[in-house]
Homo-oligomer: A and B are copies of this chain.
Amino acid sequence: MSIKNESEDRADLIIHTMRRLATRTVLFHQAAAQSLGLFPTDLKSADLLNELGPLTAGELSEKTGLSSGAVTALIDRLEKAGYAKREKDPKDKRRVIIVPLTAGKSQVKELFLSLSASTKKLTNEYKPEELDLIIQFISKAAEIMDQELQLLKSKS
């Protein structure tokens, strides 16, 4: 087998393996969200708010790839479930921002506790420099997913 083919094979294997992970990620989050009485998108939008801090509905629509109508319904559900609340932006009273609420977090944290513990255990099998490489790759893969979401949204 030529070097070119081998490198093609590795790229295909990465894509296949990432896809296997994505399938299980989507199914896991479906089950996790269901056990909290939420949609998977709700759960991950709450996660996004926790990651990025308060956002306006427009920003949340942009970041999640959801339509503004879908985002309004989403914020209603998050408010009702106690994961976020609408607030006037202290910096600009005409703006409404969606603030993540830590109150709902403990229940979510508990749900992901076992996953975090298993992932932590897996990291023990690797050397620090190997983990740094893996962190860098996954971080770049997350950026790609972000860009692809924006691209998909721009086409629809």
Closest to A40 in B: B26
Size band of the interface chain A makes with B: 35 or more
A27 close to B131 (CB less than 8 A): no
B31 close to A51 (CB less than 8 A): no
Kindly identify, within residues 1 to 45 of chain A, every residue whose CB is under 8 Å from any CB belonging to chain B: 6-7, 10-11, 13-15, 17-32, 34-35, 40-41, 43-45
Q: Which residues of B contact A147 (CB under 8 A)?
A: 118
Q: Which residues of B contact A65 (CB under 8 A)?
A: 27-28, 30-31
- Smallest Cβ distance from A97 to chain B, in angstroms? 19
> 1/0 contact trace for A47-75 toward B, CB 8 Å?
11001000000000000111000000000
Q: How far is the CA of A23 from the CA of B111 in the complex (A)?
A: 15
Contacts from A to B (Cβ < 8 Å) = 6-7, 10-11, 13-15, 17-32, 34-35, 40-41, 43-45, 47-48, 51, 64-66, 111-112, 114-116, 118-120, 122-124, 126, 128, 130-135, 137-142, 144-149, 151-153, 155-156
15 A-B contact pairs sorted by A residue (CB < 8 Å): A7-B123, A10-B132, A11-B120, A11-B123, A14-B123, A20-B51, A21-B142, A22-B44, A23-B47, A24-B149, A26-B29, A26-B40, A27-B41, A27-B149, A32-B152
